[in-house]
Amino acid sequence: MKKSVLIIDDEEKISRLLQLELSHEGYAVEIAQTGKEGLEKALAHTWDIIILDVMLPELNGVEVLKQIRKVDNHTPVIMVTARNTTTDKVSGLDGGANDYITKPFEIEELLARMRASMRHQLESRATSAQEEDNPPYLQVDSLMLEPKTRSVMREGKRIELTPKEFDLLHYLMEHKNQVLQRDQLIQDVWGFDFVGDTNVVDVYIRYVRKKVDHGYKKKLIKTVRGVGYCIREEDH
């Protein structure tokens, strides 16, 4: 059975070209040319992956993504942006995107990102299916994280995290006392199959550290110069 792809892009030439290329690769492709039409199609059917442009008429791509994620946390979404800035990328990822790609791009790169995003989603679902066999919470010192409820607390105080901040902290705590390289974090937390923009990792570590460590005497998230990051209860 063909994998289904929804392309939401108001540039007709680009969307038609993508439709031809993806159809040639064996995908079943549909197109929407406005944010409103794209949201309606996204919610009306089940898709294997969605390609979503940021700049759209009627409803921009970031808002479309937010509305999708209110009811669907599973379908992989690749954001398409014309601006290659860390802020734009973080904004899309924070809204629930699985990946991003900057215009102009080669079809081979898009295909690789699509495969990586869909594979990562399958792995995530397999991990979720095994949750009942795992401990109900993770703990590092006074920091506690409950995967099922996606809640985080430290010294009894609730810590509010965005979805991607939670995923990053979850991964750090699953591998506590291990030094994790930036490339490893990008691949396993964001699901990229290649060495991506490691600035994204640094930005999110800064966000998480501010929420988890700020105001506490004992700092849990450590920077290992020239290597990456880890979370541990005390310096070794």
The answer, yes or no, to whether residue 83 has pLDDT greater than 80, is no
The backbone torsions φ and ψ at residue 93, rounded to the nearest 5 degrees and listed phi first, read -65, -40
- The per-residue pLDDT for range 123-153, each reduced to its tens digit, is 766 555 555 555 678 999 999 999 888 899 9
Please name which of 127, 8, 130 lies closest in space to residue 64, comparing C-alpha atoms: 8
User: What domains can be seen in the chain, in order of their start residue?
Assistant: 4-129 (3.40.50.2300), 133-231 (1.10.10.10)
Q: 50-71: per-residue pLDDT in tens? A: 999 999 999 999 899 999 998 8
